[in-house]
Amino acid sequence: MSSRQNYAFTSESVSEGHPDKVCDRISDAVLDALLTEEPEARVACETFATTNCVVIGGEIGLADQSSLGRMMDRIDAITRDCIKDIGYRQDKFHYETCDVTNLLHEQSAHIAQGVDATNEKEEGAGDQGIMFGYAVDETPELMPAPILYAHAILRRLAEVRKSGEAPQLGPDAKSQLTVRYEDGRPVGVSSIVVSTQHLDEDMTSDDVRALITPYISEVLPDGWLSSETEWWVNPTGKFVIGGPDGDAGLTGRKIIVDTYGGAAPHGGGAFSGKDPTKVDRSAAYAARYLAKNVVASGVAKRCTLQLSYAIGVARPLSIYVDTHGTGEAHESEIERAVAECMDLTPRGIREHLNLNRPIYQRTAAYGHFGREPDADGGFSWEKADLAEALRKSI
């Protein structure tokens, strides 16, 4: 984020009913089903959705080949359950009537030979790549405020839609929040944009604004909305046709929404549908975990952390830390401590964060970071349990 002290910064979020998020959800639901069957399952599942049609492709691998056919038979039901839970019952995108095409197949042996552990070598990274983690002390969750509250708005609207409190709302929605900073701290909202699907065709933009304003006010900090805040609610007018019927969706197309809203660098790799041997996902979680623990330890107020990997190679090629002038220790000392406190091989990350579990479907909307760790191990990368060890090491 900007090194200036007084500025405005904008981030956006999209709801679980956004076409791309429908696809992320299906891909992660397939992943969870396979990890339930076999914790070491290999999965790279991609989904495409458009009017009355969902296409699922990619690679899956199970040690127990007898399970593979049974799992393939479940893909149709998994897909329809996701669409039903999200809330789509439109004429041209309905969980009961949409066409589901399953093109999943076995993982390439040439990829597996570089990734799988043998007596001669450690398990290697599932791909080359760079991954970034970020944390900042401007919110209790140690997340940038614009993306944190853009997510919170849409999560709240989904809650009241599904509970029946606001049945006029549809599943598809987007939010965008411009937050004003003074002396480097977030102090208010300059503008707010919300486009949300509505099921009542007679509703105007003013009607939608009147409906959603109380819920938005609930989730934003006191005093952040003022008479000077600009509101843009359904600025194009009616928004009745939503989801994949209105616009095609694809897994992995909302990577900035999934991470830090543009406040930090991004390595480019998407998360959804990938098992945790893929460092695109697991190392990005590890990088967030480490950056968050650096900030939680008090060693820095802001931290960007980069990891890099080569396919088939276990150890990270590099670890880079930037505390943006807020650190109490030199970045090289933090880099050394990070490597000392956590095994950053793919297997080390999976074991430390306990990632070989069906915990991914819940990450598919409203951000992978800044969430509360779940009792069953979901969002384990959001724990601050390494802070003391890092501080002692540094």
Main-chain dihedrals φ then ψ at residue 101, nearest 5 degrees = -110, 120
Query: Would you call 292 a catalytic residue per the annotation?
Result: no
Query: Would you call 347 a catalytic residue per the annotation?
Result: no
Is position 253 annotated in a ligand binding site? yes
Query: Would you call 46 a catalytic residue per the annotation?
Result: yes
Query: Would you call 18 a catalytic residue per the annotation?
Result: yes
Pairing verdict, β 129-136 and 99-106: unpaired
Is position 172 annotated in a ligand binding site? yes
Is position 93 annotated in a ligand binding site? no
Catalytic residue among 12, 24, 28, 46: 46
Angle of CA points 85, 86, 92, to nearest 5°: 110
Query: Would you call 85 a catalytic residue per the annotation?
Result: no
Pairing verdict, β 42-50 and 249-250: antiparallel
Catalytic residue among 25, 42, 155, 174: 174
Is position 85 annotated in a ligand binding site? no
Catalytic residue among 151, 198, 254, 281: 254
Q: How many helices (H) and strands (E) does the chain have?
A: 10, 13
- How many CB atoms are closer than 10 A to CB 7? 13
Catalytic residue among 278, 288, 350, 368: 278
Is position 162 annotated in a ligand binding site? no
Token reading at 325:
């002038």
Query: Would you call 174 a catalytic residue per the annotation?
Result: yes
Is position 18 annotated in a ligand binding site? yes
Ordered alpha helix ranges (H), the chain: 19-37, 65-86, 109-115, 145-163, 205-219, 255-258, 279-296, 331-341, 346-353, 387-393
H/E run at residue 170? strand 169-182
Catalytic residue among 81, 137, 247, 331: 247
Token reading at 6:
């007084």
Query: Would you call 248 a catalytic residue per the annotation?
Result: yes
Main-chain dihedrals φ then ψ at residue 111, nearest 5 degrees = -75, -45
Is position 278 annotated in a ligand binding site? yes
- Cα 338 to Cα 318, 349, 350, distances in angstroms: 12, 12, 16
Is position 173 annotated in a ligand binding site? yes
Catalytic residue among 9, 12, 21, 198: 21
Cα 175 to Cα 193: distance, rounded to the nearest angstrom: 5
Is position 254 annotated in a ligand binding site? yes
- Whether the CA torsion 237, 238, 242, 247 is positive or negative: it is negative
Is position 270 annotated in a ligand binding site? yes
Is position 247 annotated in a ligand binding site? yes
Catalytic residue among 42, 274, 288, 391: 274
Catalytic residue among 24, 245, 258, 280: 280
Query: Would you call 253 a catalytic residue per the annotation?
Result: yes
Cα 198 to Cα 233: distance, rounded to the nearest angstrom: 12
Residue 392: which residues within 8 A CB-CB, separation 6 or more?
A: none
Query: Would you call 49 a catalytic residue per the annotation?
Result: no
Query: Would you call 274 a catalytic residue per the annotation?
Result: yes
Query: Would you call 387 a catalytic residue per the annotation?
Result: no
Catalytic residue among 253, 301, 350, 368: 253
Cα 201 to Cα 239: distance, rounded to the nearest angstrom: 8
Token reading at 85:
């839970």
Inter-residue contact 356 to 330 (CB < 8 Å): no
Is position 59 annotated in a ligand binding site? yes
Ordered alpha helix ranges (H), 222-278: 255-258
Is position 5 annotated in a ligand binding site? no
Query: Would you call 92 a catalytic residue per the annotation?
Result: no
- Residue positions in the annotated binding site for ATP? 18, 172-174, 238-239, 247, 253-254, 270, 274
The catalytic residue positions are 18, 20-21, 46, 59, 174, 239, 247-248, 253-254, 274, 278, 280
- Residue positions in the annotated binding site for L-methionine? 59, 107, 247, 278
- Residue positions in the annotated binding site for Mg(2+)? 20
- Residue positions in the annotated binding site? 18, 20, 46, 59, 107, 172-174, 238-239, 247, 253-254, 270, 274, 278
- Residue positions in the annotated binding site for K(+)? 46
